[in-house]
A and B are shown apart, each in its own frame.
Chain A
Amino acid sequence: MPVTGDHAGGRASSAPLVGRESEPTIFELSVPGRLAYYARSTGVPEWPASEIGAHLRREPAELPEVSERDLVAHFTRLAARNYSVDVGSYPLGSCTMKYNPKFADEVAEMEGISRVHPGTPERAIQGWLEILSSLESYICTITGMAAATLQPPAGAAGELTGLLLMKAYHRSKKRDPRKVLIPDSAHGTNPASVTLAGFEAVTVPSGPDGLVSVEALRSLIDGDIAGIMLTNPNTLGLFETKIVEILELVHGVDGLAYYDGANLNAIVGVVRPGDMGFDIVHSNLHKTFATPHGGGGPGAGPVAVAEKLVRFLPGPLVRRETGGDLRWHYPEESIGRVHGFYGNAVVLARALAFMRYLGGEGLKRMSELAVLNANWLRWRIQDSYTIPYGGVCMHEFVASASSIKKSSGVRALDIAKSLLEEGFHAPTVYFPLVVEEALMFEPTETESPQTLAGLADSLIRLAVIASENPELLAERPLRTPVRRLDEARAARKPVLTEDQRTAAPSAS
């Protein structure tokens, strides 16, 4: 539906997807003997394989046989069956799906960036070391920390790294506390990381205001507390205003405070985790610092720490010698490496490009606009959806479809699926777990007021349809490349490869 009047132009970034035919798999396109590959002529002589006779493969792997032209058509058609930030608004809460500026792609593709072997001697990678060193310093300035490892390849890897640092800290003091506090609104990676680090997750309930209940927290504090993991703003998009008091309670028993940086986009240049009292901070560069999500990865989750933890950081770190050259450095009491090489290096370079582009003031403005956009979108839809927590929200907010469900049977899922039909990506649904029928919106700073208005209008329209014709929403989406899927069937008898597919009776 075209948008007119004040909001004209807004739908330019939400074109509906086209094309409803299934795309054959690459294996179905395969024709014996067809080739795309063409090798360079090297002049290297053939070497007899007899030396490895006993090890030779008996059956060649059945890779597809396609021409380059067919290959290109297939993967181009697949791309056309996918929604993305470049196509339209992607208000997926907790994921910070902002626009990823194109110039960073060019940075990532520079030969001297992308074609460097990780085993190159230090004197021939001074540029790369400068990039890493500069990024470390940007991250420390933004988070208020002393030093950072850039190795963790995603947020969850950063969490586990941070928890192992926590463990090393306590061990250095000859202590072995076992419990890590986590609010009930936390992301699933937090408790999973706690277990993997050999700690026990203890849930802290939220109060009626959506914030950590300081009273409940106080009752959980004892000498067996290794630390706390929090994101601030929390996953409800609310700033934990009692943060200083909370962290003092934890520090009071020599616990450490871990900051899950998934929500850093709300506060850059405004308030720093270090100044709140956190000791360990991971940043999701694929969220706050605009590196593209790649359909689910790669990301980068650097971990920055306070001075007292620097000696435990994974090596290698980049440090400057007195002569001015940069070198790899291995901290003495390091917990050891957490990546095969130096982390997702090219993602790190992209993030630095974004930081240098915006600069100090631009980064602050980024967060301010992210918070403005979230508040404004919430204001626009507040009469149509339940807003469980009032007050100012930060970069995201959680709405609830619970009253809509009560009156019409329409669930958060139906609203989300119907929004796809409207040409927008869905919000995050059913997370955090503390809100019923949760719809979590994070519009990000890169969407225009017109796009936000278009999104709000769609949401309001869906609420109206829910009350008048609820059955319509249960059917949607109708015009997307495929309609709702039989997920139970997928799980009941999993078909995870072409071979399992051809072994099983055909799907349709």
Chain B
Amino acid sequence: MLADLGMGSLEDLFAHVPKEIRLQRPLALEKGRSEFEVREWFSGMARRNSAARRDLVIFAGGGAYDHDLSSAARALGGQSAFVTAYTPYQPEVSQGVLQALFEYQTLVARIFGTDVANASLYDGAAALVEAVNLAVGATGSSRVIASGGVNPAYLETLATFGAGRSLELEVAATDEREATAWGAPSGQAAAVVVGYPNYFGTIEDVAEARTVANDLGALLVVVADPVALGLLEAPGALGADIVVGEGQSLGIPLSFGGPYLGLFGASTRYLRLIPGRLVGETVDADGRTAFVTTLRTREQDIRRERATSNVCTNQTLMAIQAAIHLSWLGKEGYQEVSRRCYNAAHYLASRLETIGLRVSSAPFFREFVVELPIPAEAVRSRLFDQGFLAGLAVRGRPNHLLLTATEAHTREEIDRFSDLIAKEI
């Protein structure tokens, strides 16, 4: 090949790269290894982590939940035709990914109760940022009123990206039920943001948030837990303009926080402002049903500096995995998982109340804040040694824990955990 190019060595390919910047020594990296040795290195690392169920029962959520995953869904999502394809720019040979995304969009729209949904964003935090950007674009205001009950990591991410274009972010405090105390904000705003259920587990009054948004001429953005919506009214039906959320609970392993899945549903009023890819139905030259990415003029490759979102690579594989998982759950299973999460969390809360602890979140779905008489971090640490991830610390409240339970937790696990907490206090 080199001879065909009239060259004598691989070095010649880089002869035009100025000498003074070329690396004159080998990269200071280890030498290559066989796949066996690399795998063993990673097994060694994996052994230094505590994984769910193997040696740790996880009562921690905060946007990442330990659910049971089906073998069939995993195998289907892992097919290399999905895993090793690129963005479906050539629909003639990408019908598998495109149709799976069309099914995903339908599932998300139905769960959220929105007209449409996009083909995924990076994660729950990114989906919130994009929703706020949409609202800013739609209203011309750059003021956002967010509930302090929204996941603090999402609010921080919103603040980071909001700094780019001077977003005015106001955070409304939460009350003793961990619900938002909106006060009476006046003036104009682009968006009102509320969690549903919120980070502390409380099922917020979305209708009230809608009223607040109306008073401000703002869009209502709901950050929803998709698993909760098997039991709770769809935010779309409660008047949300945009519904976003973290889709990890829909069949994606805990994965140390990623790759997860940013869910995004909206009313068709905002169709032309929706970020990310959209897959639509059409026909091919022979009149057969087919799918294609559509409304492409919204996207960065065409609109460039006038685009309202820069997203290109998204989380397609996670979206396909979620579509498969939701289809495996089915209409019944989806409601049942939701109900079982509710049962398990309430059973756990009732056990803790029996030993005299106070649960503040009310009403809650599958996650709640509980107050201990002693510092929570020490309890977390000691319970960890006994095989439990005892929830998450609550920022600024050293004696509180944020706990969750899912359909994967057994009564025996919950009882054992509650008994250990009883001994601690």
Tell yes or no: B211 within 8 A of A by CB: no
The answer to whether A192 touches B309 (Cβ under 8 A) is yes
B147 at the interface (CB under 8 A from A): no
Contact with B along A338-372 (1 / 0, CB 8 A): 11111111110100010111111111100011011
B49 engages A126 (CB within 8 Å): yes
Neighbouring A residues of B380 by C-beta, 8 Å: 121
Interface presence of A193 (CB below 8 A): yes
Chain B positions 85 through 114: 1 when the CB is less than 8 Å from some CB of chain A, otherwise 0: 111111111111101111101110111000
> With contacts A71-B327, A363-B29, A364-B27 known, is A356 near B313, CB below 8 A?
no
Tell me if B177 is interfacial: C-beta within 8 Å of chain A: no
Cβ of A66 within 8 Å of any chain B Cβ, yes or no, is yes
Chain A residues lying within 8 Å of B337, measured Cβ to Cβ, are: 37, 39
**Which residues of B are found within 8 Å of A471, using beta-carbon distances?**
none
A:280-311 near B, CB below 8 Å:
284, 286, 292-299
Considering the chains assembled together, what is the distance between the CA atoms of A185 and B44 in angstroms?
45
> Is B32 part of the binding interface, using a Cβ–Cβ cutoff of 8 Å?
yes
Supposing A107-B39, A269-B26, A340-B153 touch, asked if A115 and B90 sit within 8 A by C-beta, the answer is: no
Name 18 A/B residue pairs within 8 A (Cβ), A-sorted.
A37-B329, A61-B334, A63-B107, A118-B256, A120-B49, A153-B126, A157-B126, A241-B18, A269-B27, A271-B14, A295-B101, A296-B277, A297-B259, A341-B256, A364-B27, A496-B116, A496-B281, A497-B106
Known A484-B92, A497-B116; 4 more pairs at CB < 8 Å = A121-B381, A425-B93, A487-B292, A490-B281
Q: Is B184 an interface residue when CB atoms closer than 8 A count as contact?
A: no
Chain B residue, CB-CB nearest to A284: B313
Contact of A296 among B43, B313, B346 (CB under 8 A): B313
List chain A residues, Cβ under 8 A from B334: 60-61, 63
A314 CA to B330 CA, complexed, in Å: 40
User: Is A371 touching B13 in the complex (CB atoms < 8 A)?
Assistant: yes
B168 on the interface (CB 8 Å rule)?
no
Are B21 and A243 closer than 8 Å at their CB atoms?
yes
Cα(A76)–Cα(B58), bound, Å = 33
Which 10 A-B residue pairings sit nearest by Cβ, starting from the closest? Answer: A341-B257, A112-B46, A37-B333, A294-B317, A359-B32, A82-B96, A127-B48, A118-B257, A296-B316, A336-B160
Q: Which of A53-98 contact B (CB under 8 A)?
A: 55-58, 60-66, 68, 71-72, 74-76, 78-87, 90, 92, 95, 97
CB of B172 within 8 Å of the partner chain: no
Separation of A341 and B122 alpha carbons in the complex (Å): 11
Q: How far is the CA of A355 from the CA of B380 in the complex (A)?
A: 36
Given contacts A57-B234, A124-B50, A197-B164, whether A27 and B290 have CB atoms under 8 Å apart is: no
**Interfacial chain A residues near B160, Cβ < 8 Å:** 164, 314, 335-338
When distances are taken between beta carbons in the complex, the residues of chain B under 8 Å from A477 are: 92
Q: Is the CB of A359 within 8 A of B203?
A: no
- Mark contacts of B227-241 with chain A using CB atoms, 8 A cut-off: 1 yes-contact digit, 0 otherwise: 001111110010000
Is A360 in contact with B289, judged by CB distance below 8 angstroms? no
A156 touches B300 (CB 8 A): yes
Q: How far is the CB of A362 from chain B (nearest CB, A)?
A: 4
Set of chain A residues within 8 Å of B42, measured between Cβ atoms: 107, 110, 113, 131, 349, 353
Q: List the B side residues contacting A420 at CB < 8 Å.
A: 90, 92-93
Q: Is the CB of B315 within 8 A of A297?
A: yes
Flag if A61 contacts B1 (CB, 8 Å).
no
Whether the Cβ atoms of A154 and B311 lie closer than 8 Å is yes
CB–CB A487/B33 < 8 A: no
Of the listed stretches A43-51, A401-409, A458-466, chain B binds: A43-51
Q: Does B295 count as interface, using CB distance less than 8 angstroms? A: yes
Q: Which of B157, B257, B294 contacts A491 (CB 8 A)?
A: B294
Give the number of chain A interface residues (Cβ < 8 Å). Answer: 193
Interface stretch of the complex, out of B73-81, B185-193, B417-425: B73-81
Q: Mark A238-249, 1 if CB is under 8 A from B, else 0.
A: 010101100000
A508 to B122, CA, bound (A): 35
CB contact under 8 A between A293 and B84, given known A26-B103, A36-B330: yes
Across the interface, do A125 and B49 meet the contact criterion of CB distance under 8 Å? yes
The number of inter-chain residue pairs (CB within 8 angstroms) is 696
- CB contacts (< 8 Å) of B233 on chain A: these are 55-58
Of B26, B316, B350, which one neighbours A360 at CB under 8 angstroms?
B26
In the complex, the answer to whether B85 meets A192 with C-beta atoms within 8 Å is no
Q: Flag whether B154 is at the interface (Cβ < 8 A).
A: yes
Chain B residues in 8 Å Cβ range of A8: none
Chain B residues numbered 295-325 whose CB sits less than 8 Å from any CB in chain A: 295-297, 299-307, 309-318, 320, 323-324
B254 within 8 A of A: yes
**Which residues in B have their C-beta under 8 angstroms from that of A373?**
1
Question: B332: which of A65, A116, A475 is its contact (CB, 8 Å)?
Answer: A65
Interface presence of A187 (CB below 8 A): yes
**Given A35-B330, A356-B41, are A294 and B64 also a contact pair (CB < 8 Å)?**
no
- Contact between B92 and A417 (Cβ–Cβ < 8 Å)? yes
Q: A340-B257, A379-B5, A480-B92 are in contact. Are A198 and B166 (CB under 8 A)?
A: yes
Shortest Cβ gap from A38 to chain B (Å): 8
Q: Which residues of B contact A196 (CB under 8 A)?
A: 133, 161, 164-165, 309-310
Complex interface: chain B residues within 8 A of A142 (CB): 27, 29
A481 touches B64 (CB 8 A): no
